[in-house]
Structure 1
């Protein structure tokens, strides 16, 4: 991982256009190719980012940029879309690289682990004709919670969360990009995504729908057989 603290401005062009004016920020370039721009506030979420597959090129500033005091330019391009991220560096305060090694992955809490086991056991909760292929399907960036087939024998990847946030949608998006490179999984068409959680936040649902990912709200008690949601009066 490369970690840079620099005075920079950032321009994003893609589904929308966004600009971050000159300020001191933390820039992260990860081994998977992703580039993230962080401030010292705003919790853990980046101000802007480019998710893999993407490529980054370091350029010399053009004449106008040099006159503004720009020392270097990072141009980040997405591998499948026309999205670009242009980061202009005016002053670099720190630039370090670190080998983090292979991450063991997130250990799910008890509820998420139980949701995964219950949904795998009752996979038709996702729809009639669904069949389970396997749990914890391995990929180069971590295991997919559930891989299954729909009624038309198309492959479906399921990401399960207790609370569904934007990060979970981003995680499933990365899995889908990898899975769709495997011809054995795309015989019946592209691998589809299902984002399943007990609670899905509105922003996460909007992002999922925009990316063609289906959202499913899980009833933990009903899956456990302790509560049948269809028989309630209220």
Structure 2
């Protein structure tokens, strides 16, 4: 990971244009190719970013990051205060809680509960930046990466985006490669971002998968 602290302005040019005026910010360049711009606030959320696959080109005082959709993130650098690179190695990934782990087991046995034409290839398929929960095959022979969450949020979409980007570059997988975020509930923001990234979203009923009656009794 590369960490750069610089006084810079930022312009995003694409379907929507956005501008960040000059200020001191943290620029993160990750091993997966993503670039994000952070202020000293907003917790983990960047001010702007470009997700992989994208290409970073550094010129004199200007970073240009472009993606396959021909969108550009332009970072005009006025002053660099810190620039360092650190090797983090392969992250073991977030350990899932009991519900997520059990959902993975249940859906590995019943991939048709996600989509009727899916068959399981393997669980915990290693992408090089962490394992995707399920690698499946669709009826037309395409590879399908399935990431399982208890609650589907933007972080889950970002994670799946990174996995799919790596799997697209894997010559050992049948192409194309699609991605599905599966959860008991999915936020509207996550659904919107997933659609924008070309990913599908599916909600599943945990109790139904376990063969249990609904936890909340009904009158009829």
Same fold by TM-score greater than 0.5: yes
* Mapped partners of 1:99, 1:152: distance in 2: 39
Q: Deviation at 1:57? A: 2.2
Against the structure 1 CA distance between its residues 233 and 179, is the aligned structure 2 distance closer, same or farther, given a 3 Å change threshold? farther
- SS for the counterpart of 1:75 is strand
* Mapped partners of 2:27, 2:213: distance in 1: 48
Against the structure 1 CA distance between its residues 101 and 193, is the aligned structure 2 distance closer, same or farther, given a 3 Å change threshold? closer
Cα shift readout 1:24-48 (whole Å, capped 9, x = no counterpart): 2111112222111011111211111
Do structure 1's residue 81 and structure 2's residue 87 form an aligned pair?
A: no
Cα shift readout 1:104-163 (whole Å, capped 9, x = no counterpart): 222222221111111111211023242211111111221111111233333221111111
Do structure 1's residue 190 and structure 2's residue 176 form an aligned pair?
A: yes
- SS for the counterpart of 1:128 is coil
Query: Which residue of structure 1 lines up, in the alignment, with residue 197 of structure 2?
Result: 211
- SS for the counterpart of 1:203 is helix
Structure 2 contact 90–129 (Cα < 8 Å) conserved? no
Against the structure 1 CA distance between its residues 22 and 218, is the aligned structure 2 distance closer, same or farther, given a 3 Å change threshold? same
Indicate the RMSD between aligned Cα atoms, in angstroms.
2.1
Runs of at least 5 residues in structure 1 that lack an aligned partner in the other structure = 61-71
Query: Which residue of structure 2 lines up, in the alignment, with residue 131 of structure 1?
Result: 119
Runs of at least 5 residues in structure 2 that lack an aligned partner in the other structure = none
Query: Which residue of structure 2 lines up, in the alignment, with residue 102 of structure 1?
Result: 90
Against the structure 1 CA distance between its residues 50 and 227, is the aligned structure 2 distance closer, same or farther, given a 3 Å change threshold? same
TM-score norm. by structure 2 comes to 0.90
> Mean alpha-carbon deviation: is it higher for 88-97 or for 203-212?
88-97
Query: Which residue of structure 2 lines up, in the alignment, with residue 200 of structure 1?
Result: 186
- Structure with larger Rg: 1
- Give the count of matched residue pairs: 219
Against the structure 1 CA distance between its residues 53 and 210, is the aligned structure 2 distance closer, same or farther, given a 3 Å change threshold? closer
* Mapped partners of 2:115, 2:58: distance in 1: 47
* Mapped partners of 1:203, 1:158: distance in 2: 19
Q: Deviation at 1:183? A: 4.8
Query: Which residue of structure 2 lines up, in the alignment, with residue 19 of structure 1?
Result: 19
TM-score norm. by structure 1 comes to 0.85
